[in-house]
Amino acid sequence: MDVMEKLQILADSAKYDVACTSSGSNRKGVAGAIGNSVAPGICHTFSADGRCISLLKILYTNHCIFDCKYCINRSSNDVQRVSFTPEEVCRLTIEFYRRNYIEGLFLSSGINHSPNETMAEIVEALMLLREKYHFNGYIHCKAIPGADPDLVELAGWYADRMSVNLELPTTEGLRTLAPHKNRKNILLPMRQIQSGIEENMQALGVNDSRGRYWYTARELGRKEENSTLLLREKLRQKIALQEHVQENIISEKEQNSKTDALPAVLREDTFHTGIPGLHMQKEAKWANQSHTGRFVPAGQSTQMIIGATGESDYQILAVSEALYKKFDLKRVFYSAFIRVNEDSALPVLPGGPPLKREHRLYQADWLLRYYGFEANELLSEQQPNFNEFLDPKCDWALRHPEQFPVEVNQADYYTLLRVPGIGVRSARRIMQARKTARLDFNDLKKVGVVLKRAIYFITCSGSSYYSLKLSEGMILQNLLLAEKPPKQEDTCFQQLTLFDGTYREFLQECGSA
Amino acid sequence: MKYVLQCEDSIEGIFSAVYAAWELKYGHENTELQVFGFKNSNIELFCNYISLDPDAEKAQKVLNTIRRICSDMVYEALFRAACSDAADKADAIYRYIQTALRMGSKVRNHLTDPAVVRVMELSRAVGNAEHHYLGFLRFIEIPGNILLARFAPKPRLTELIIPHFVDRFPEERFVIWDTVRNEAGVHVPGQTYLMMKLTEGQVAMLQQYAEDNMEAEQLWKTFVENISIKERENKKLQQNNIPLHFRTYMPEFQHNGLPKAILQKGEEHGE
């Protein structure tokens, strides 16, 4: 079978993986090698579904021993099965990269024979790419749940980003739809990668604001029990201890194998024992030749399928928040469920994939990471799902009239960020522009504030845009009128008509509340 | 009396005109800068038109002053704005420099000044196009193992994007060719890049290479087709993300091109 056919099959099976980002790594080019990497990431093209293509996203193989009900490659499906060879993966990557088609490689895989065998094949491909082909660009690879920690670690020295898919937000969901996977096997490599990153950063004295979540949390003076800050402190103590007592290392390593069964708690002992930096000298020659070796420098990510099981948005967001806090993930991706298999355990979604819901979750995800919101501010047990018509921030603002109006010329950065219509960039520009002049509504427009949303929530030098007394219902009506009504082809929701009651009822409900 | 200083559309042209505006002492409120070659610039009555030749030395003096009094950030913003394709760029830069010399590096914060906002907008637009082309630029391999990229950017971008590719492909020989302005950036391994204005003969020579001599292009098209999820198809979103004018030289958007004899030729120039 030629490479063209393999590519066709293995790209097609990789398309359900959401992440195609090439962000988080800044690496200069090196003489004798090919490639560099820039922190914001670069999109190279966009596919017909509007998603960014930044990496050569392929499966190594679509052979799979697992039978996850939602997956096109499950073992019970009768599909053509193929595998790349490591050489083929490398040649494709290099030829695409030279022509500036891609930013790097995203290698995922079905589970062929055993997790270990699959992980070993991924590592082999990465090693070849880095050491023989001297590829210095971006690599994202999967850590296969259940694979040996040593293999996962080795992959981490070659990859920029690693990810372990959480697949479904809850353990019950996983049990029904992915019977061969379990939460423990997914969280273990995640924890291992997290510790590896921490140790590596510590060893090199790097302190970049990688995990945006803790960065925002620290700015707000919020400290979590399991936050990275605390983790760091523990790590520092641990390293200090190690330096004194070298002999302890061996006995500690023995203990590790015993405590491996504790997933969701902070397991200090998964930190690789030994002198920090030892691994780099041993394994990561490709990076060491030129500069310092970094372990998974672009951090790790994960993804969840939305709408395959019955979780509420609140549950999903709470899981994401926990992952950001406890596992220091860089990103959580959400993937609207697409019914590719006929199976009685899978829901039938007549409106197609829940894209609108996915969109709202992404909006909320940004609010968690960059805006300093917490999951229980946005949603609660009483209101477990996001509003279809309003974005999460507008929705929050309407429920919290006591926080508004915000005085643009005085409020601090994080207060500004909470105003609908003000984002990270415009908030920064407001902070900047305030240094030289007082701002009025016209100036705000110039710096990029979306006034059609913001005017109800701000004052400029004490004066509000409207001299009327604003009520929640009135603001809501205006906000909704300012937005284009959702179209049939854009969303999975019904076209609104004059005689459709839901929209009006919804308005009235909010107006009277 | 109003004086309009007309200058060439280039970094030297614009910044030497700024120098001239101070030198000629007509008063800032009476002076306006204009770039040649923009069609919609009407000629005004009661107005003196003075055309200026670019002067590298004067331009350098202005740029040095900006770097000294303000900061590299201000310098970069002005440089990008000067690469823009907007008709009012020269005057915006001129007004910006007036404020900049008064305020120093703080001028970037002064977002209530119209000229400062305008230069910020221009430099942001150029910066965005620059970032887009880092991804959307496509190389084809031509005989001799040389990579050739053609692109038709709205602003003048070659010099802004080429450092990225020099860093990325230190071992490749490549040419980035701006087909609108017929200028090119050339890189040879082990050296930095060279900017050149192409002659007609050189353009004709480059024009004969329109397709890649390897099968990579076909593989790439296959990949792009298969990576899309049918259930999520959204051409409008695709077009928002990659507007049509970027697609001219991108193989994945060329659907009715001539069939390509690629496979055999590829063997000769492969590894």
Indicate if the pLDDT at residue B168 is higher than 70. Answer: yes
Whether residues B9 and B123 fall in one domain? yes
Q: How far apart are CA A33 and CA A449, in angstroms?
A: 44
- For B226, the closest of A8, A33, A96 (CB atoms) is A8
Indicate if the pLDDT at residue B264 is higher than 80. Answer: no
Q: What is the mean pLDDT of residues B145-166?
A: 94
Q: What is the pLDDT of residue A352?
A: 86
Whether residues B256 and B160 fall in one domain? yes
Q: Name the residue of chain A whose CA is nearest to B115's CA.
A: A446
| DSSP annotation string for chain B | -EEEEEE-SSHHHHHHHHHHHHHHTS-GGGEEEEETT-TT-PPPSSEEEEE----HHHHHHHHHHHHHHS-HHHHHHHHHHHH---TTHHHHHHHHHHHHHHHGGGGGG-TTSHHHHHHHHHHHHHHHHHHHHHHH--EEEETTTEEEEEE--SS--HHHHHHHHHHH-TT-EEEEEETTTTEEEEE-TTS-EEEEEPPHHHHHHHHT--S-SSTHHHHHHHHHHHTS-GGG--HHHHHHHS-GGGGGG-GGG--SPPP---HHHHHHH--
- Name chain A contacts of B235, Cβ cutoff 8 Å: 48, 50
A199 vs B122, more confident: B122
Q: Name the residue of chain B whose CA is nearest to A16's CA.
A: B229
Domain range holding B71?
Answer: 2-130
Are B135 and A44 inside 8 Å of each other by CB?
yes
pLDDT range class, residue B265, cuts 50, 70, 90: very low
CA atoms within 13 A on the CB side of A435: 12
Whether residues B104 and B183 fall in one domain? no
Q: What is the pLDDT of residue A237?
A: 59
Q: How far apart are CA B128 and CA B125, in angstroms?
A: 5
Beta carbons of B184 and B176 less than 8 angstroms apart: yes
Q: Is A30 on the interface with B (CB under 8 A)?
A: yes
Q: How far apart are CA B180 and CA A414, in angstroms?
A: 45
Q: What is the pLDDT of residue A326?
A: 87
Q: Work out how many domains chain B is built from and give that number.
A: 2
Name the token pair of A347.
């829901």
- Name chain B contacts of A27, Cβ cutoff 8 Å: none
Which residues of B, range 193-252, sit inside 8 Å of A by Cβ? 212, 214-220, 222-224, 226-238, 240-242, 250, 252
CB atoms within 10 A of CB A399: 14
Q: Give me the residues of chain A with pLDDT under 70, please.
A: 207-215, 218-219, 221-292, 468-469, 484-513
Whether residues B25 and B54 fall in one domain? yes
- DSSP class of residue A37? B
Q: What is the pLDDT of residue A294?
A: 83
Q: How far apart are CA B168 and CA A322, in angstroms?
A: 37
- Name chain A contacts of B223, Cβ cutoff 8 Å: 7, 11, 56, 96
CB atoms within 10 A of CB A420: 25
Q: How far apart are CA B198 and CA A128, in angstroms?
A: 40
Q: What is the pLDDT of residue B263?
A: 35
Whether residues B105 and B162 fall in one domain? no
Whether residues B52 and B96 fall in one domain? yes
- For B228, the closest of A47, A439, A447 (CB atoms) is A47
Are B232 and A103 inside 8 Å of each other by CB?
no
Are B229 and A44 inside 8 Å of each other by CB?
no
Q: What is the pLDDT of residue A255?
A: 45
What crossing angle do the helices spanning A86-98 and A115-131 adopt, rounded to 10°? Answer: 40
Please report which residue ranges of A418-500 form alpha helices under DSSP H.
424-433, 441-447, 451-454, 472-482
Q: Which residue has the tokens 């805006």?
A: A371
Q: Which of B227, B228, B242, B253 to mutate to test the interface with A (most CBs of A within 10 A)?
A: B227
Q: How far apart are CA A326 and CA A302, in angstroms?
A: 13
Please report which residue ranges of A114-163 form alpha helices under DSSP H.
115-131, 149-158
Beta carbons of A259 and A182 less than 8 angstroms apart: no
Q: Which helix (H) or strand (E) holds A55?
A: strand A55-59
Q: Is B28 on the interface with A (CB under 8 A)?
A: no
Q: Is A92 on the interface with B (CB under 8 A)?
A: yes
Whether residues B108 and B168 fall in one domain? no
Whether residues B76 and B176 fall in one domain? no
Q: Is A362 on the interface with B (CB under 8 A)?
A: no
Q: In degrees rounded to 5, what are phi and psi of residue A440?
A: -115, -175
Sign of CA dihedral A479, A482, A486, A491: negative
Instruction: Give the ipTM.
Output: 0.88
- CA-nearest of A491, A426, A429, A141 to A300 is A141
Domain-ending residue, one of B86, B109, B130: B130
Q: What is the pLDDT of residue A315?
A: 93
Q: Is A513 on the interface with B (CB under 8 A)?
A: no
- Torsion, CA A463, CA A467, CA A468, CA A473, rounded to 10: -50
- CA-nearest of A53, A84, A76 to B226 is A53
Whether residues B14 and B101 fall in one domain? yes
Whether residues B112 and B141 fall in one domain? no
Whether residues B71 and B42 fall in one domain? yes
Q: What is the pLDDT of residue A252?
A: 44
Q: What is the pLDDT of residue A289?
A: 36
Give how far A105 is from chain B: nearest CA, Å.
13
Which residues of A, range 270-289, sit inside 8 Å of B by Cβ? none
The helices-and-strands tally (H runs, E runs) of chain A is 21, 11
Whether residues B146 and B263 fall in one domain? yes
Query: What percent of chain B lies above the pLDDT cut of 70?
Result: 92
Indicate if the pLDDT at residue B247 is higher than 80. Answer: yes
Domain-ending residue, one of B112, B130, B148: B130
Domain-ending residue, one of B91, B109, B130: B130
